[in-house]
Structure 1
């Protein structure tokens, strides 16, 4: 026990040993039992001035090396010389490393050169099997070391020992595969650009895989360092996100080389790269085969220049390409039709994905039996579902034409295309006892306005009720529910809750459901759709456990609440504050968790003053007021949320915020650099488009980012906009209006119109595109281009529209696409008038379906009167709420003519004409009161006011039926209040709804039960000048209508 911790003894020994040679020291330490104290050993080696020589020259036993390593490790990693560390490595000391020794606390003291050795030694070949640490631990130490101090650490261009640009090789080596984008920001972010072109680093990148956002950022840095860097020199993974312009520089030979590897390396290739690669090659058989899926990058100019026989011989490849836009597909079909007749089902099938460019007239002219045959092909169905709506409608119409009965209709129309079956053919009562047919109905895809016609047929014919499909469940109405046993209706309501992810219910359905459960098990909150709970009478229905009620309500979509019932949101908030003991506008995390989606209805004061968890709940909302957006931004700017201090925000912050950046303003976007915003948009815009984000929201996002001063570049055009530029996912976010105007040529606008219409959201930018189009075609714009205008069409003037060719239903259908925004009535009128000016064009079913009700209201009465009865009967339901009363009456007359009736009306006919009842007469509405239609309140309120006011209490009771309790819910609506004022309070009391405000019966004469009337003889007053009830009601009606002057 030569070395122990006795202080006096140790001092003497240290003096003796300090003069020993390394070999003598080695001989001493190799003796058995010489080391009694690790502390003493470390003291010895720390005073020994030839420690590095000793480590290099002396071979020691394992047990000695294990004790020596902790003593010499601080010296080895802090020495400016590599000698000590190399000695440790050569003589196998490193196999005794521990997690404590490689910890960041210890390694922070390492010199840059020693740290390089550390990374190298623990890299490839190091055995981790018996260690208490792993490669991830080493990576964490590397990050801790390099994240502290000036960035990038251990690099100095003026220091010969630290000026090498192979920084990633030296300080990360194989551990680089653990790197995240957040780590890159900690290392210096864009300051790392100086290392990107180093060949050794590129080689390191090539043999390691990265998260996509890291490889994308590294690629961006490479091209910031050298915009002309050849993609052939990039690591394979980096090629996936290289700018398209870098590929545009390649020769044909090098393009083919890239094509051999890029598909395998990238999977789905960036459209910008696809367009660049395709632009380098001629449209020939060999090149089409080489490009494969990348043929989607061909421009319309390239396609138009291709020989028809080349496209025909390559149809096997072209027909499998995914990603054609409407302009490309239409152009290919246009070229093919020069030598190729699409006159059979098999030829239509042969077109594959190109079917989206086929004119509807071609489908119309193919024999229905042949279309029926190819409708069994799953690939064909996938392709046609991507085609314009008019193509799908035409295809199904042809199949319907040879379906002679309900059974053949259900068997012939493909399940996924059942949404195109006209409502007039949805009376399935004839097959209500056929289990096979019921199951077939249940498996098809339906729209809610279709499912209302056969909801009861399926509900009564399927077992168990939980098997009813979400599409059929969305057809729930009180009109049909009356034909189902009440217990079964309750079971169906619960089924809606089980499938609520896929079942979207509307207010009228939810209030009806509430009527079915209001008498029993009201407190079984979790068993019902949370949206239904919104319509509870809180005072009487929530008798216990209010927290449970609000927890379940918190899962609801509050957008279902109509403007007429917006007071429910206010009442819910007040009741929630009472239940949860909330004072003021500050919500704790617990309260936020309970209230859930209800926070979507809260004003900015609540958002700004509540726990930051509220931001996570707001991610579930579909829309925000300006006040809410400002409050969210202010909350984020407080630096108290989990998103941290504003100065630390990065692209990861944007990603973590989910959908919220879509709504934020320039005040938020100004916190990020243009580079970070651009990288974020690369993925965010793809996501927004994939979920069908409304274009007005995209327009607002574009505006707010554009206004950010650091993104506004008003310099002139530095490089013309071309197909590759437009293919960039983020286009045109990086352009100012000045640049966009200067850089976009008329020819480019024409060639890329389909892509521009999908990506250009700003009105100003859209007007530029339209102006370029007018420059290319000053007198008349071809019809195939008009079909591609999309939302750009909405900024057109009447003079612009006068230059458009609109002769085909395909063009009208494309222009009327509601997702492209609303039309001004004068614009839509001009378009419809222009279409109808072509001989043979009428307002048929496909035209009505394309236009929708809002556009219908822009037409003159004379035009409306020309609508064919059958056309309206077969059309989708049209929203005519914006029409004048005269227009409504005209449309209703046509609708009733299409549905002959007796004194009562069948439920099917009622539901067919329900959208048009706002134009109905008092006589027709009275007949409905005898037909058990269970009219919902929004339909009732939409009736002409004079009709509503003419109805008696008993007539309203019969008309509303099972929906009668909602009369109280809607009694704040003006027309309901006016109707109440015309009724005797005693009559209102018979309804048992608590309605107040009716007339007090006269006490000076006998009361009568004479019906109110607006026509026929009006009885005189009774003796003594007392008016009869009929006269009183007539006077009240005239007073409400402002017509009492007529009686003076």
Structure 2
């Protein structure tokens, strides 16, 4: 019987080889196929967007991973060491806008560096392009095609309206005054240009902003901003603005101050105000402190900051009370009203300070009074003031000019001067 030759099972070996090749090909291509599929899908969507009135936008819905320090929670905003834990960069990535908006007061009380404060300032104003999944214009479908890397990834298809719906800002219209009041030291990184764009009508917001401001320039900007608006000038606003800046307000604005509010305010230095504004403020103060008129010295001490707007009748009333006005206050009076005072009024008004007029004889207000009173009136003060007005009809002589006679004209001028001097001397001796 012929013996059969046993041949190797090449068919089985070939099958094993094909399986190994297939597995190798699968492993080699598994990492590239998803990107290829995604590329194809993205290209397809882009082509459709060029042909369709709708805009097709691809958005991955995934959890943010940029914050490595741990997100800042509302509880952390009161931690005084927070500025040392989060640098400006980590603060940018770990402070969500919602936490910032809800805890602005707490964050404004922390000792952040300028760089950190600038991050917060930017966050308060920034607009972030984020798709609003609840928008009625938003449509989303899962990519079920082969090659999707992450089941949480999706393609969002939306029109232009959905993108506008998704643009969000903490304060898109600028910082409201309620939030300005909460800024704390954050306000120190705002510029005067920023402040000029704010709308502040609440006296409390103004006072809080001024208290936290870091420079006189910023304070002036806040005060000026308020005075140009419709905010009331109550006691809080008056104390926050002060007299010097109050003088920059319009006369119409000053007239809105209620006597009851001025009465409660701190004394205001209105020395830089125009005379018209001094008159307005004195009128308000006079009403405000009228209940103290029975006590002349107490009344005067309350009126003193505003007495620059007093009329002659008011000054005569104060003089009758022997208030002993100091020269610094006297020189701030209205010269037009001062010239109407008699020597006795002056004596009663200044009292023991009368000699200060001689010490300041060359000052404008003293000269103004001297030049509106006769020599005998000036002399009656008894402090040695020099000067006076000429009585009517004396010292005024007219000589006809003789043409071609210069010597006669010179003689006439000299004679006129001599007669004037003699007239003044005679009045002084009377």
Q: TM-score, normalised by structure 2?
A: 0.51
Per-residue CA distance 1:589-635 (angstroms, 9 max, x = gap) = xxxxxxxxxxxxxxxxxxxxxxxxxxxxxxxxxxxxxxxxxxxxxxx
Per-residue CA distance 1:880-904 (angstroms, 9 max, x = gap) = 2232322222211111111226986
CA gap of 1:329–1:832, structure 2 versus 1, over 3 A, is farther
**Equivalent residue number for residue 187 of structure 2:** 789
Does structure 1 retain, via aligned residues, the 8 Å contact 2:180–2:205?
no
Which of the numbers 227, 246, 251 marks the counterpart of 1:832? Answer: 227
Q: What is the CA-CA distance between 1:928 and the residue it aligns to?
A: 0.5
**Equivalent residue number for residue 921 of structure 1:** 311
Distance in 1 of aligned mates of 2:321 and 2:383:
23
Which of the numbers 216, 221, 225 marks the counterpart of 1:821? Answer: 216
**Equivalent residue number for residue 809 of structure 1:** 203
Per-residue CA distance 1:380-401 (angstroms, 9 max, x = gap) = xxxxxxxxxxxxxxxxxxxxxx
Distance in 2 of aligned mates of 1:1000 and 1:876:
46
Distance in 2 of aligned mates of 1:918 and 1:939:
8
CA gap of 1:923–1:750, structure 2 versus 1, over 3 A, is same
Q: How does 1:621-660 map to 2 (within 5 A)?
A: none
Distance in 1 of aligned mates of 2:358 and 2:103:
55
Aligned residues, how many?
274
Q: What is the CA-CA distance between 1:927 and the residue it aligns to?
A: 0.5
Distance in 2 of aligned mates of 1:295 and 1:903:
57
Does structure 2 retain, via aligned residues, the 8 Å contact 1:283–1:302?
no
Q: How does 1:541-560 map to 2 (within 5 A)?
A: none
Q: What is the CA-CA distance between 1:872 and the residue it aligns to?
A: 0.4
3-state SS of 2:281 partner: helix
Matched, 1:294 2:67: no
Q: What is the CA-CA distance between 1:864 and the residue it aligns to?
A: 2.0
Q: How does 1:561-572 map to 2 (within 5 A)?
A: none
Per-residue CA distance 1:432-458 (angstroms, 9 max, x = gap) = xxxxxxxxxxxxxxxxxxxxxxxxxxx
Which of the numbers 104, 123, 128 marks the counterpart of 1:331? Answer: 104
Which of the numbers 940, 945, 948 marks the counterpart of 2:330? Answer: 940
Q: How does 1:549-698 map to 2 (within 5 A)?
A: none
Distance in 2 of aligned mates of 1:934 and 1:304:
63
- Between 867-876 and 895-904, report the one with greater CA deviation: 895-904
Does structure 2 retain, via aligned residues, the 8 Å contact 1:828–1:858?
no
**Equivalent residue number for residue 8 of structure 2:** none
Per-residue CA distance 1:726-779 (angstroms, 9 max, x = gap) = 37xxxxxxxxxxxxxxxx9x74543699xxxxxxxxxxxxxxxxxxxxx99674
Q: What is the CA-CA distance between 1:968 and the residue it aligns to?
A: 1.9
CA gap of 1:331–1:995, structure 2 versus 1, over 3 A, is same
Does structure 1 retain, via aligned residues, the 8 Å contact 2:319–2:345?
yes
Distance in 2 of aligned mates of 1:923 and 1:286:
65
Distance in 2 of aligned mates of 1:946 and 1:936:
19
Q: What is the CA-CA distance between 1:942 and the residue it aligns to?
A: 1.1
Per-residue CA distance 1:898-922 (angstroms, 9 max, x = gap) = 1226986522221111111111111
Distance in 2 of aligned mates of 1:777 and 1:854:
33
Distance in 2 of aligned mates of 1:884 and 1:790:
33
Q: What is the CA-CA distance between 1:843 and the residue it aligns to?
A: 1.8
Q: What is the CA-CA distance between 1:935 and the residue it aligns to?
A: 0.9
Distance in 2 of aligned mates of 1:854 and 1:791:
25
Matched, 1:899 2:293: no
Matched, 1:750 2:140: no
CA RMSD of aligned residues (A): 4.6
Does structure 1 retain, via aligned residues, the 8 Å contact 2:124–2:171?
no
Does structure 2 retain, via aligned residues, the 8 Å contact 1:780–1:805?
no
Does structure 2 retain, via aligned residues, the 8 Å contact 1:823–1:855?
no
Q: What is the CA-CA distance between 1:857 and the residue it aligns to?
A: 2.3
**Equivalent residue number for residue 910 of structure 1:** 300
Matched, 1:886 2:276: yes
3-state SS of 2:229 partner: helix
Which of the numbers 159, 162, 174 marks the counterpart of 1:780? Answer: 174
3-state SS of 2:253 partner: helix
**Equivalent residue number for residue 115 of structure 2:** 726
**Equivalent residue number for residue 255 of structure 2:** 865
Does structure 2 retain, via aligned residues, the 8 Å contact 1:934–1:961?
yes
Which of the numbers 357, 364, 381 marks the counterpart of 1:974? Answer: 364
CA gap of 1:964–1:1003, structure 2 versus 1, over 3 A, is same
Q: Which runs of 5+ in 1 are unaligned?
A: 1-278, 309-326, 335-353, 358-722, 728-743, 754-774, 837-841, 1005-1048
Q: Relative contact order: is structure 1 or structure 2 higher (C-alpha 8 Å, sep ≥ 6)?
A: 2
Distance in 1 of aligned mates of 2:349 and 2:202:
43
Does structure 1 retain, via aligned residues, the 8 Å contact 2:220–2:245?
yes
Distance in 1 of aligned mates of 2:387 and 2:375:
7
Q: How does 1:197-346 map to 2 (within 5 A)?
A: 283=72, 294-297=81-84, 305=96, 331-333=104-106
CA gap of 1:965–1:794, structure 2 versus 1, over 3 A, is farther
Distance in 2 of aligned mates of 1:934 and 1:813:
36
Q: Which runs of 5+ in 2 are unaligned?
A: 1-67, 126-168, 395-430
CA gap of 1:923–1:826, structure 2 versus 1, over 3 A, is farther
CA gap of 1:858–1:825, structure 2 versus 1, over 3 A, is farther
**Equivalent residue number for residue 411 of structure 2:** none
CA gap of 1:957–1:329, structure 2 versus 1, over 3 A, is farther
Distance in 1 of aligned mates of 2:393 and 2:237:
60
Q: What is the CA-CA distance between 1:814 and the residue it aligns to?
A: 4.0
Does structure 2 retain, via aligned residues, the 8 Å contact 1:812–1:835?
no
Q: Normalized per residue, which structure has more helix?
A: 1
Per-residue CA distance 1:14-49 (angstroms, 9 max, x = gap) = xxxxxxxxxxxxxxxxxxxxxxxxxxxxxxxxxxxx
**Equivalent residue number for residue 383 of structure 2:** 993
Per-residue CA distance 1:458-498 (angstroms, 9 max, x = gap) = xxxxxxxxxxxxxxxxxxxxxxxxxxxxxxxxxxxxxxxxx
Per-residue CA distance 1:761-800 (angstroms, 9 max, x = gap) = xxxxxxxxxxxxxx9967423432475535855345xxx6
Q: TM-score, normalised by structure 1?
A: 0.23
**Equivalent residue number for residue 181 of structure 1:** none
Distance in 1 of aligned mates of 2:271 and 2:333:
10
Does structure 1 retain, via aligned residues, the 8 Å contact 2:77–2:106?
no
Distance in 2 of aligned mates of 1:889 and 1:958:
23
**Equivalent residue number for residue 315 of structure 1:** none
Q: How does 1:751-766 map to 2 (within 5 A)?
A: none
- Between 977-986 and 871-880, report the one with greater CA deviation: 977-986
Distance in 1 of aligned mates of 2:214 and 2:327:
28
CA gap of 1:914–1:280, structure 2 versus 1, over 3 A, is same
Per-residue CA distance 1:101-160 (angstroms, 9 max, x = gap) = xxxxxxxxxxxxxxxxxxxxxxxxxxxxxxxxxxxxxxxxxxxxxxxxxxxxxxxxxxxx
Distance in 2 of aligned mates of 1:971 and 1:819:
43
